[in-house]
Structure 1
Amino acid sequence: MPLRLIFMGTPDFAVPTLSALADHGHEIAAVYTRAPKPGGRGMKLQPTPVEQEARRRGFPVLTPKTLRTDEALAEFRAHDADAAVVVAYGMILPQAILDAPKLGCYNLHASLLPRWRGAAPINRAIMAGDAESGVMVMKMDVGLDTGDVAMAERLPITDAMTAADLHDGLSPLGADLMVRAMAALEGGGLVLHKQAEDGVTYAAKIEKAEARIDWTKPAHAVLRHIHGLSPFPGAWSEVDVDGEAVRVKILRCALADGAGAAGAVLDDRLSIACGEGAIRIIELQRAGKAPMLAADFLRGTPLKPGAAFS
């Protein structure tokens, strides 16, 4: 028999999992997501991507501000779910909620646990220079991503990958993994294992203060920093244009030949010297402008000889 599920998620990353579970015949008793926020022209309330998909499919949607009240717990229990599936929901589940579904609550986490527990595993894996990432299904407990794990899929991280690229690769991979996990749970064959005690790292939330590029670092570290923050919040630097310090976000780059003082522009292809080696900027964005290729930027913003990023 298909499972009766509560789905809990918020961003684009979670939508393929919701869709896949429904398409494979599971009953979606309710969808929990974050409340709409103002955005766009006129600052109208914008429903989350998960809410949009849930309403398109006719699923009941709930957007509680907290799950820590008796009323919220009673409402959650009233769904009489076999299990809950949680994908980037953005709210901590208290023990009473975790205990409510008959078979437990299962999280799809975008890292190879116990590496990168926490809020920003995709960004941190790229920024740290990891060779691979992945998705794991975890039975949730009250700890920060400390629950027993059941299944995993791995994905190599190349130097060309941005956080957006890795996100887009892991999202459908995770949807397929959760479908297989729920099929195993349905059949009584989902095997759980304790997480390893070695190799624990924490993926702290990205802070704006760490977005500025440090050109004194080696080229590979600069590249991974840039790609780990692309497109949001965007790694940035300043360059002098006609006596004005212009801030630009660098969205995509590649390793390049050349050497020089850290931050120096080395050629007319926007190769920039790092502490060791150099990178070539491929795509960037001026404040208030759309993303553009480096060649287009240089046509509209010619840099003088000796220009440098700082």
Structure 2
Amino acid sequence: MGTPDFSVGTLEAIIKAGHEVCAVVTQPDKPKGRSKQLQFSPVKEAALAHNLEVLQPEKARDPEFVEKLRRYNADVFVVVAFGQILPKEIIEMPKYGCVNVHASLLPKYRGAAPIQYAVIDGCEYSGVTTMQMNEGLDTGDILMVEKLKLDPKETGGSLFDKLAVVGANLLVKTLVGLKEGSVSPIPQKEEDSTYVKMIKKSMGEIDFNKSAVVIERLIRGLNPWPSAFTYLQGKTFKIWEANCLDDVTDAKVDLSTAKNGEIVALRKNSLVIKTGEGYLEALEVQLEGKKRMDAGSFLRGNNIELGTVFGKEE
């Protein structure tokens, strides 16, 4: 049971390991773009490529769907970012239960967006947990865990790709452990649990009153979606890559009176912005209606002045 790109690697790993996949469950096809043409989920595309049966229930608790699942007599249900809440009768149906692949070190970062928040919060480590599902939201017993150290320039996208591979391999190990009886479920410590909500586009708006460190992590965490942004002369201005600076020796404005969000230095390949603490050096940017580009190319193609302040115009 899975839907997005993150789930595909696990399906492929299960097949490669020689397990019999009797069916694949994914979200219903959704209309996309102006044409409103129905688009298959990445998991459905992968399943069809392997000639596997695909089920797409509108609601997982639908009695007809529940009975159809029962007829497969599956040993285990593997759940990876499926996107629907499973009822108790499905969770308890297979011999080995429902095994979930979750992209965090549970009980930290239960919920919808653990990958992005690991970057946004500046975690040194993230990882994947395989879990015996229960009726709660990511509250089931831990089966296996694998940690991963984040790169200093880790983005939400790069961590997503890494954890998809880690999760696929860990799930295969977990299935072996369950079959052999060598995996012992460990209850989560509720006192250590944290929840993260779904990412919304509005989260990407940069508050230059915050520190450069916090802003730079937001930029990486929301790359590639929904991206961090501000406003430049009434237009949306995305910042895709940046560095943090403690000081700006080449500033051409008075730093003591500069506003947060103000451009205090224009360099050959970057522009430097004052923040609530430190300075943000923007390296890759995108003005509304234009392509992503390095800041040097942007500056050569646009007349940007020192002292310009980013943000919504009052």
> How does the TM-score come out when normalised to structure 2?
0.91
Instruction: Tell me, in whole angstroms, the C-alpha distance in 1 between the residues paired with 2:294 and 2:247.
Output: 21
What is the DSSP-based 3-state SS (H/G/I as helix, E as strand, rest coil) of the residue aligned with 2:242? Answer: strand
1:3 aligned residue = none
Q: Does 2:257 correspond to 1:264? A: no
8 Å CA contact 1:258–1:273 kept in 2: the answer is no
Corresponding residue pairs, total: 299
Q: Which runs of 5+ in 2 are unaligned?
A: 249-254
Instruction: Tell me, in whole angstroms, the C-alpha distance in 2 between the residues paired with 1:144 and 1:75.
Output: 25
Which of 208-217 and 168-177 deviates more? 208-217
1:5 aligned residue = none
Q: RMSD of aligned C-alpha atoms?
A: 1.5
What is the DSSP-based 3-state SS (H/G/I as helix, E as strand, rest coil) of the residue aligned with 1:28? Answer: coil
Listed as ranges, the matches of 1:284-303 within 5 Å are 284-303=285-304
8 Å CA contact 2:127–2:163 kept in 1: the answer is yes
1:246 corresponds, among 232, 235, 245, to 235
Instruction: Tell me, in whole angstroms, the C-alpha distance in 2 between the residues paired with 1:266 and 1:152.
Output: 46
1:34 aligned residue = 27
What is the DSSP-based 3-state SS (H/G/I as helix, E as strand, rest coil) of the residue aligned with 1:154? Answer: strand
Which of 194-203 and 53-62 deviates more? 194-203
Opposite residue 263 of structure 2, the aligned amino acid is V
State, as a whole percentage, how many aligned pairs show the same letter.
41
TM-aligned CA deviation for residue 136 of structure 1: 0.4
TM-aligned CA deviation for residue 41 of structure 1: 6.1
Opposite residue 246 of structure 1, the aligned amino acid is K
Which of 164-173 and 299-308 deviates more? 299-308
Cα shift readout 1:242-279 (whole Å, capped 9, x = no counterpart) = xxx22112222222343643111122211221111112
Which of 89-98 and 274-283 deviates more? 274-283
What is the DSSP-based 3-state SS (H/G/I as helix, E as strand, rest coil) of the residue aligned with 1:9? Answer: coil
> How does the TM-score come out when normalised to structure 1?
0.92
TM-aligned CA deviation for residue 157 of structure 1: 2.3
TM-aligned CA deviation for residue 212 of structure 1: 0.8
Cα shift readout 1:23-63 (whole Å, capped 9, x = no counterpart) = 01001111011111122463321101111111011111111
Instruction: Tell me, in whole angstroms, the C-alpha distance in 1 between the residues paired with 2:286 and 2:134.
Output: 41
What is the DSSP-based 3-state SS (H/G/I as helix, E as strand, rest coil) of the residue aligned with 2:230? Answer: strand
Instruction: Tell me, in whole angstroms, the C-alpha distance in 1 between the residues paired with 2:306 and 2:134.
Output: 58
Listed as ranges, the matches of 1:81-230 within 5 Å are 81-230=74-223
8 Å CA contact 2:32–2:38 kept in 1: the answer is yes
Q: Which runs of 5+ in 1 are unaligned?
A: 1-7
What is the DSSP-based 3-state SS (H/G/I as helix, E as strand, rest coil) of the residue aligned with 1:233? Answer: coil
What is the DSSP-based 3-state SS (H/G/I as helix, E as strand, rest coil) of the residue aligned with 2:160? Answer: helix
What is the DSSP-based 3-state SS (H/G/I as helix, E as strand, rest coil) of the residue aligned with 2:240? Answer: strand
